[in-house]
């Protein structure tokens, strides 16, 4: 039973990663001034986030980081997602996302996933 819960926690992390990219896109479309800026930020912000994640944070990342730096960059990435939601007028969603991330991160660290 515990193995199923641990796999569910890993699946939740993947969902959080996708939700962070969606938050970046939502922020971009919500904050852009004109149509070109909205589309540029709405597509560019999640694209930049995906490149960052794939380069430094993904399980098969191109650049392997030491554990403390890896954790700091994870906190920055997900913190920016929370800030993006908050700045685009979704404070409740930002709090919920942040809380779910913190619980997920604690479980990942406890279970050494």
Using one digit for the tens of pLDDT, what is the confidence trace for 26-48?
999 999 789 999 999 999 999 99
Q: Can you give the pLDDT at residue 79?
A: 98
**Torsion sign over Cα 104, 105, 110, 113:** positive
Token couple for 78: 């997900």
What mean pLDDT comes out for the span 56-82?
Answer: 95
Q: Tell me how far apart the alpha carbons of residues 113 and 85 are, in angstroms, rounded to a whole number.
A: 27
pLDDT, one tens digit per residue, over 77-91 is: 999 999 999 999 999
Q: Can you give the pLDDT at residue 33?
A: 85
Q: Alpha helix locations (H) across the chain?
A: 2-31, 35-52, 67-87, 91-110
All structural domains of the chain with their residue ranges: 2-110
- Rounded to two decimals, the pTM is 0.94
What mean pLDDT comes out for the span 61-70?
Answer: 94
Total count of residues recorded for the chain: 113
């Amino acid at each position: 039973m515990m193995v199923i819960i641990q796999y569910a926690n890993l699946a939740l992390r993947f969902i959080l990663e996708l939700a962070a990219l969606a938050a970046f896109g939502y922020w971009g479309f919500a904050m852009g001034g004109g149509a070109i800026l909205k589309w540029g930020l709405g597509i560019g912000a999640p694209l930049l986030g995906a490149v960052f994640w794939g380069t430094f944070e993904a399980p098969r990342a191109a650049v392997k980081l030491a554990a403390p730096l890896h954790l700091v960059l994870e906190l920055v990435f997900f913190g920016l997602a929370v800030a993006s939601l908050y700045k685009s007028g979704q404070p409740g969603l930002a709090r919920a996302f942040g809380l779910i991330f913190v619980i997920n991160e604690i479980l990942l660290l406890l279970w050494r996933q």
